[in-house]
Structure 1
Amino acid sequence: MLSRLSLFFIAIFFQLPLFILHGLGELLGLVAYQFDRRFKERIDANLKHAFISSDENNLKELTQLSVREIGKCLMEAPAIWFSSPQKNFRWIKQCYGWQHVETALKKKKGIIFLTPHLGCFEITAQYYAHFHPITVLFKRPKLNWLASIVLSGRRHSQVHLAEANLHGVKQLMQALKKGEAIGVLPDQVPNEGQGVWAQFFNTPAYTMTLVSKLAESSNATVLIGFGHRLSRGRGYDVYIEPLGQDHSPQGINDRLEMLIRKYPTQYLWNYQRFKKPNK
């Protein structure tokens, strides 16, 4: 367990300017790729599954850029957790597609935000919560000390956390009934029995059925939220766009794949997307 003094110094460290944290993150990603065999093998395997580039030189360049962005992701998340909501909000430079939110709110049926492991997925809920309440589904980290940091860091006056269990699903349904928004990581591997196998980059991936069920039962608007990481630690642009008419697991995977192909270096390629689900 980390002592309070240790947490204090960690919090101070992550108050460094974002451009410094992102620079350190790039170095961290490169070092991890060089010396962490499992990290390297997972990224290489996932990029080959994706088959984004058939050219060997382009693939190497994509890999190098991707590991740098993964390092940034690892460094920016604690910075967001240890920062105030006001500071996090100031890191957002532009928001594109907010009109889709306004249209959805007028329907009073709720909003389902799909935020994949792309770009800065920690910042999107924080941005929305600056204006309206949102309930976010999450998986509790296995390490208790990390869980306490994550939970306290993700709390916001208008961010409510729903754990990935039956009670958490009920929280999501209640929020939608009130016409509020919920947030889900759609490419997170659910437990066995809570998903189906669907193609993702031409590879079977166990995909949650929760989004499809919630959309069907609530008639909520399904939107994709993406926090695009800007270069040189300048902050983030938030993109919001409709998912489309197909809310099925395969339809969601197809739509996410299109978005990831537009910004391939910012996807979390070390995530075990193609693993077997836990029982």
Structure 2
Amino acid sequence: MIHLFRFLSHWPLRVLHALGAGLGWLVWCLSPGYRREFRANVAQAGLAFEAARPGIGEAGRFVAELPKLWMRPPRASCLGNVRIEGQGHVADAFARGKGVIFFGPHCGSFELGPQALAELYGPITAIYRPARKPWLARLELLARSRPGLTVVPASLSGIRQMFRTLKSNQAVALLTDQVPPDGQGVWVPFFGKPAYTMSLAARLALQSGAVVLPVSCERLARGQGYFLKIWPPLAALDSLPKSELLPAVTVINRAIEAIVLSQPGQYLWGYARYKQPRQQHADEGAP
């Protein structure tokens, strides 16, 4: 599989995206369950289906661009076709001296986002949950471990490392709209419906005083590249006591909603966002 990824990594991005769009629509046609989940999540967000319809093809484009993003030579820049906005927010955040928490949703090219941020502001520590298939877990680790970017597993040791990173006035990166294992999240509204939500970003912010910056990485049309936007910091978290976890997670969810509504055609609407959390393994835990 790695050899296939290396082969595809040499293809033009516009070709990969064209093939990916076809893949996305093929999955849509073949999976009634996926269509139901997609439509239900779009309706829950209060959107017309037409606003989110491009997300069918974008889901396939996400898969198709992985070889190019994962197989890029470690020292090769990923910023050549990336337009960036909001860098002033990052400079102000680091000036506070308590670290920076970048977070975002499964929207656009969320695999490219951490790589670009690491090149701009590394070193960055990103947390991830290794795939269950050994070959894919090896590929993920190989692809995501890059100069300026350290990936750590979603375990107690990984979480401790993130706290140490913030204490050194460095940055961490998380995807906060996934359903964590039982015990690692809280139930808060997401588009008006209770969703089991990762609490790690809020815990890190409340306990460290780090600045929390939403990030989106929009995929541009016709393979023209990407638009990396660093949104204003979540100032509402600064006034919350360390014990106010639920309000902090709610603030983060509202920021995720704002990103999704700004680019509804790029969100992974087929993800089962409102499902029950799975039981965690013995080596997993919350801080």
- Scaled by the length of structure 1, the TM-score of the pair is 0.91
Local SS of the residue matching 1:172? helix
Tell me whether 1:27 sits opposite 2:22 in the alignment.
yes
2:104, 2:204 → 1: CA distance?
A: 16
Local SS of the residue matching 2:146? coil
Alignment-derived partner of residue 73 in structure 2: 84
Local SS of the residue matching 2:231? strand
CA RMSD of aligned residues (A): 1.4
Tell me whether 1:251 sits opposite 2:251 in the alignment.
yes
Alignment-derived partner of residue 192 in structure 1: 182
| Contact kept? 2:89, 2:233, Cα under 8 Å | no
Opposite residue 99 of structure 2, the aligned amino acid is: G
Q: Any stretches of 5+ residues in structure 2 without a counterpart? A: 238-247, 280-287
| Contact kept? 2:214, 2:255, Cα under 8 Å | no
Local SS of the residue matching 2:53? helix
Cα offset for 1:87?
4.6
Cα offset for 1:103?
1.0
1:17 to 12, 16, 20: 12
Tell me whether 1:182 sits opposite 2:172 in the alignment.
yes
Alignment-derived partner of residue 106 in structure 2: 117
Identity %: 34
Alignment-derived partner of residue 3 in structure 1: none
1:83, 1:72 → 2: CA distance?
A: 17
1:57-206 superposed matches below 5 A: 59=49, 61-85=50-74, 86-92=76-82, 94-131=83-120, 132-206=122-196
Cα offset for 1:193?
1.5
1:203, 1:196 → 2: CA distance?
A: 13
| Contact kept? 2:166, 2:208, Cα under 8 Å | yes
1:148, 1:39 → 2: CA distance?
A: 28
Opposite residue 123 of structure 2, the aligned amino acid is: P
**Count of residues in correspondence between the two structures:** 267
Bigger shift: 81-90 or 188-197? 81-90
2:216, 2:135 → 1: CA distance?
A: 28
Alignment-derived partner of residue 56 in structure 1: none
Alignment-derived partner of residue 33 in structure 2: 38
Cα offset for 1:112?
0.3
Alignment-derived partner of residue 271 in structure 2: 271
| Contact kept? 1:121, 1:227, Cα under 8 Å | yes
2:66, 2:93 → 1: CA distance?
A: 29
| Contact kept? 2:52, 2:266, Cα under 8 Å | no
1:262, 1:62 → 2: CA distance?
A: 11
Opposite residue 201 of structure 1, the aligned amino acid is: F
1:62, 1:26 → 2: CA distance?
A: 17
Question: Could you list the per-position Cα deviations for residues 132-166 of structure 1 after superposition, in whole angstroms to 9, with x for gaps in the alignment?
Answer: 21000101111111111111111111110111111
1:245, 1:198 → 2: CA distance?
A: 19
Q: Any stretches of 5+ residues in structure 1 without a counterpart? A: 1-5, 54-58
1:106, 1:149 → 2: CA distance?
A: 36
2:139, 2:152 → 1: CA distance?
A: 16
Opposite residue 162 of structure 2, the aligned amino acid is: L
2:144, 2:11 → 1: CA distance?
A: 19
